[in-house]
Structure 1
């Protein structure tokens, strides 16, 4: 069995799709169902036909769903080791304060620490963890960016980066709702000196 969705191409369609499918996956996990993001290793044409995709729609990713065995198969374990699926970048590499040269002190984030930890744990294509989050000092405003690979050997992963940031935003947003932190999402033009490889996506403005 698979969960398959289609979305019309538009601004931020990949981010929106990443958010929605990850929300479904998290709900499935709560039901003890197994899932696995598939973005580049499935027959997109076949699944598009199965769900009667329109010409202006695309299937960015899918997930199988079902009950999983108690232990992972040897092949699955090997793949997870190869992509370092269980490793995460350190806090200082993905969370910043005011500038991208200053790491965000964990002890200053208060209730937002849990939200950021959930971002840190989010899945991503090849476990590249492309999100970068910058907090404004003295405010609960968080600006979300993605980092594009400059390595030609890793260019294939750039196609999934916008889905990945949608997944990370989903983790942040759903955790905020779970713990009762209020805020709004806005697309701004932050006056921040941004490295060339980073692209701004959206901002959380805390109340």
Structure 2
């Protein structure tokens, strides 16, 4: 059987009568890549396959649970004696104290910085920082960031549907791909620019 974009759309449309299945798929998608999942959920909502509010609820649940899972992974790792001994080193104690003092800023910053959520949230659990503070901060960050990204994607999706018709899914997939690769590309370009600037400074000296 040939599998193409049309078959994928038909699959989603077949589940339109059962929003809980689509919500489950959205939740699973957030565990893989949360920002692309948010964009994808918005586009699915634009197509009318799920109510936008239900799509948002699924995103909140999936992303928040994923964040708590990263914290739990770090907390679980801290129970092993080798890890405990490693955390007692002077440098690690200093890092723990710093992260404890800047925990809110670190959590919010990691939400927007590509690739920083895993090490930052896991470290919060590893250093056994306040779970209540972590959960409250990440919950607020998830609500605002996910809501904003979903709203922008939903409005853009409505425009795409009205203006581009049958091309809407191709453009939608392009948006998802851009969400995956653009932050990484920008991060790489920033590093390259910093390296070039450093080399120029060394040459001038």
Higher strand proportion: 1
TM-score of the pair, normalised by structure 2:
0.27
Higher helix proportion: 2
TM-score of the pair, normalised by structure 1:
0.27
Higher relative contact order (CA 8 A, sep 6+): 2
Which protein is bigger by CA-based radius of gyration? 2
